[in-house]
Each structure stands twice: as C-alpha cells, then as structure tokens.
Amino acid sequence: MVLNTALSSIYMVADLPILEELMGYFFIVGHRGAKGLEPENTLKSIRRALELDVDAVEVDVRVSKDDYPVVIHDETVDRTTNGEGSVAEMSLEELRKLDAGMGEKIPLFEEVLREVHGKAVLFVEFKVPEAVDPVLEKVDELNAWKSVLFISFHQEHLLKVKKYKEDAYIGLIYSKPSDGIVLAKKIGAIAVLPQYRLATEKAVAFAKRLKLMVVPWVVNDLETGRRLKSYGVSGLATDRPDLLIKLRDVV
C-alpha cells in the first residue's frame, strides 16, 4: 500500500494513520465499509474494507432512544435490518436484537472506532445533531483526533465539532450545486465531499486552490474513477473498494 509505506515512520511514533498525510496521495474511502460487498455499516463490512487495504472507512452515526451512538444510515431500521421503526425511538437493546444482514448487528460507534483505529482513517458522518457529542467523547477517550474526519451535510453539526475541539478535522458534504466549497473554507473544513457529478474539473481546481481535499462520492466504476482522478481529486468514496483500489497504485 502506497500510503502505508509512505507513513511507516509516522506509524512507528503514533501507531495510527494521520489524516493530514492523506492530502499528498490519491486515496480510497470504503463507503459504509464495503457496502457493495457486505451489509452496509456493519463490522463485517468494515473489516472487508480494511482487508482490501482502503486508506479510510466512512460510516454514518445516529443515536438510540437511550442516547447510544450507533452506526446506521437511515432514519429507520426498515431497509437495512429485519425490523421496523425509527432508530431514535428504539433502545440500544432493541436495536442490537435486529439482524443487519448476514447475522450482523447494528454496531455501536465505539466498536467501529476501535476496529478502524490504527488501521485506517475514519470518516464519521453525523446524521443527527444528537450524535455529535457522544461521538466526540469516544474519539477523545481513544485520543484518535488525528485520524478522524467528521463530515456532514449540515454546517451546524460541523460547527458543533469545532466548538468542542477547535483543531478537529471537518468536511462538508453536498449533493446539489451550491457554494459548498466556499462555505467549507469559511467554517474551517479541510475537505469537501461532493456528489461525484458535481466534481467538475473546474470545481476541483477551485477547491484545491483553497487548500481543500476533494473526495467525491459514490464512485463504483473505473471509468468514472479514472476521469475524476485525472481532475486531481484527493480521493474517492466507493461501495466497491475491490475495484477502485486499483486506481490508487497507478500513476
């Protein structure tokens, strides 16, 4: 792995990937682990992404009725589990009884953080504002600040992160044409994460002039990946790291 080789001396000191070092390399982010290969946002999916040697893993975080941060994308459990109902209206015990696919459970954020820690950078997407504080507390307990990027569509979530820890890394996600790049810079983000169709050559160049990483999502085919890489994007978020990983090691 190119990044691991380049960072070997840093690992010896810190024993974990350093987010800032991604800025010098083209990198691959496993979207919800390896969503195209395993049940999304499960430990099985995350482990598969790590086995495929991704540079970073992205997960989504919500909060249970009893205030536990859990890793799940949707507002309800209906699509990704064998249950029904709102995540926010279910206790952790109720959520953990569900099958999230292939016998997997909905993981606690802490489980995911510890699984990824020391192996890859973690991109944490806040789906609700209530998830921010409990997630930050877990990151602080593990002192994993330098290897976590906190991301959201909502600047309010990201400003809350900055209020908690001024030098935490944040990234702004957007899916519609907007002033996302300018806004990201204004709020102190180090990255923008546009829907891949918005990552035009002009937009990428503008973001890079502002010293922002550009990580489009979700790219699952090599043709699109090659085109975006030629534009100079920093990395790609993909459901299929088994395919897109090939682009990382090709100059």
Among 73, 117, 154, 157, the one annotated catalytic: 73
Q: If DSSP codes are grouped into helix, strand and coil, which group holds residue 28?
A: strand
Q: If DSSP codes are grouped into helix, strand and coil, which group holds residue 196?
A: helix
- Judge residue 42's burial from the number of C-beta atoms within 10 Å of its C-beta, 0-12 exposed, 13-18 middle, 19 or more buried: buried
Whole-angstrom distance, CA of residue 20 vs CA of residue 50? 19
117 labelled catalytic: no
Among 31, 117, 154, 157, the one annotated catalytic: 31
In the block, residue with structure tokens 């792995």:
1
CA 189 centroid distance within chain: 14
Q: What is the crossing angle of helices 132-142 and 155-164, to 10°?
A: 40
Identify each DSSP E strand in the chain by its residue range.
27-31, 56-63, 69-71, 121-126, 148-152, 169-174, 191-194, 213-214, 235-238
Q: What is the crossing angle of helices 222-231 and 241-248, to 10°?
A: 40
Which residue blocks in 16-152 are alpha helix, DSSP H? 43-51, 92-96, 109-116, 132-142
31 labelled catalytic: yes
φ/ψ of 130, rounded to 5, equals -65, -15
Give the CA radius of gyration of the chain: 17
**Which residues are the active-site residues?**
31, 73
